[in-house]
Amino acid sequence: MDRTEKREFVTELNLALSATSMIVVTRNAGLTVAEATDLRRKMRAAGATYKVAKNRLTNLALEGTPFGGIVPMLKGPTALAWSTDAVSVAKAAVEFARTNEKFVLIGGALGAQTLDADGIKALAALPSLDELRARLVGMISTPATRIAGVLQAPAGQLARVFGAYAKKDETGAEAA
């Protein structure tokens, strides 16, 4: 890369990192091309971006973003994964690290908060945004169905009482 390409890369990376809420720093020494392709595919499916960049260029791109705390983690062959949904990128990284020993979680940052590898794993254990929305909708709709059931119960009881009286009258008329 010449200087202009490096400047463009740093600018693009800075814009991408400024618009995100979560960055995961990983070490991927020894990944094969097929494994790296699989990792990128899984990250894309989770709504995340995965990029290998030179640490010096990454340091320059981090200037002006709230993620300055990850600069000490950028030693050796590192790569960044980022997304606006913090839980999805953490889940994708932890899941891939669980199946591939060459892929190691170093840490990351959630906004200005710096996280170590255990923090990333704890974040991955949380439910995703879609799961939380589904739970919230379920909790909101549950009381409504219960109210409808309670309101319908007296009417059902009245219908059963009237049905019992009707049967009683029918059996009484047949007996006479």
What pLDDT does residue 96 have? 92
Strands 22-27 and 49-52: unpaired
* Count of helices and strands (H, E) across the chain: 6, 5
Tell me the per-residue pLDDT of 100-114, one tens digit each, with 9 for 90 and over.
888 899 999 888 888
**Residues ≥6 apart with Cβ < 8 Å to 9:** 1, 53, 57, 61
Burial of residue 154 (number of CB atoms within 10 Å: 0-12, 13-18, 19+): exposed
What is the pTM (predicted TM-score) of this model? 0.69
Strands 113-116 and 104-110: antiparallel
Residue 94 has pLDDT above 70, yes or no: yes
What pLDDT does residue 174 have? 65
What backbone phi and psi angles, to 5 degrees, belong to 140?
A: -70, -40
Q: What's the first-to-final CA gap in the chain, in angstroms?
A: 106
Token pair recorded at residue 132:
């939380």
Note whether 46 and 86 are within 8 A (CB). Answer: no
Residue 41 has pLDDT above 90, yes or no: yes
What type of residue sits at position 139? M
Note whether 82 and 23 are within 8 A (CB). Answer: yes
What pLDDT does residue 150 have? 59
